[in-house]
Amino acid sequence: MTPQDITLLFHDLFEPIYRYVYFRIGHKQDSEALVSLIFEKVIAKQESYSIQEHASIRSWVFRIAHNTIVDHYRTRKTTDAIDDIEISTEHSLEKELDITIETERVRIFINRLPERQREILLLRYHAQLNYAEIGSLLDIEPKSASSLLSKALTQVRDDYNAQLPHL
């Protein structure tokens, strides 16, 4: 890859990689550090990328991101806390707090999912990968990824609805 290719790759994938990492980690500074590390690994390993072994360069980069997050958890053993969620000043504090609480509730339900379903949900909605890319990344068929995502969404929705006050 040329330096221009790396630059284009960074511009195309920075946001989806950051969203994916941030949702998995839940801490801004750690997420930023991990995203930097991910792109350092992409540059260092660029010669090992092979179109025959990977469905796309995008799925290859997400595999590096996934492995980097796994390594992070192995070495840090951190837990998410609502205190770590940052509040912006764009909205009123009350509205932002409501959003934060709802986000944390959904995060709890997502974290209760089996690992494979959780991973597929995050790759689909935070990383914006398609089913073929998810399948390649996780070594499963795209239809299996779709089915597991459907089960995950149903479970999160059912858990969320069960927690709502019944009127």
Q: Write the pLDDT tens digit of every residue in 77-134.
A: 544 443 444 444 444 556 666 666 777 788 888 889 998 999 899 888 888 888 988 9
73 and 24 fall within a common domain: yes
pTM, whole model, 2 decimals?
0.56
129 and 71 fall within a common domain: no
1 and 64 fall within a common domain: yes
CATH code of the domain covering residue 25:
1.10.1740.10
Total residues found in the chain within this entry: 167
Examine residue 85 and state whether it is found in any structural domain, yes or no. no
- The residue segments making up the domain with residue 159 are 90-167
99 and 167 fall within a common domain: yes
71 and 6 fall within a common domain: yes
- CA distance to 73, 78, 95, 106, 149, per residue, from 161 (Å): 30, 29, 21, 11, 18
Q: What angle do CA 116, 33, 119 make, to 5 degrees?
A: 10
Examine residue 84 and state whether it is found in any structural domain, yes or no. no
- Write out the two tokens for 162: 């069960």
